[in-house]
Amino acid sequence: MKLTAFGETREWPEGLTLQGWMDAVGVENQEVALVQVNGRDIPPGDRDALLLRDGDRLQILYFLGDS
């Protein structure tokens, strides 16, 4: 299946979860990352269960700052 992320489209195996994709691309600091699939925010607790589909568009946003 084809997924688009980081401005490029790549081929990925079927049955890949969002968490599996994040691990495969080496997303660091996952606890401060907001992940969107097709413009929809995906809560961290849903990443293991969300199966990606052909044509999905993924975006990762990091929150930075002092608390």
35, β-bridge pairs: 42, 60
Is 2 within 8 Å of 9 (Cβ atoms)?
yes
**Distance from C-alpha of 60 to C-alpha of 22, rounded to nearest angstrom:** 9
The pLDDT > 90 percentage for the chain reads 76
- Of 40, 34, 67, nearest in space to 53 by CA: 40
Evaluate whether residue 21 is within a structural domain: yes
Evaluate whether residue 24 is within a structural domain: yes
Q: Which domain holds residue 6?
A: 2-62
Evaluate whether residue 67 is within a structural domain: no
User: CATH number of the domain that 27 lies in?
Assistant: 3.10.20.30
Q: State the virtual CA torsion across 44, 53, 64, 6 in degrees, nearest 10.
A: 160
Residue 64 — very low, low, confident or very high, per pLDDT cuts 50/70/90? low
pLDDT in tens, 26-47: 988 777 678 999 999 999 999 9
- Of 64, 66, 57, nearest in space to 9 by CA: 57
pLDDT at 5 over 80: yes
The number of distinct structural domains making up the chain is 1
Residue-level pLDDT at 29? 77
pLDDT at 67 over 60: no
The pLDDT > 70 percentage for the chain reads 91
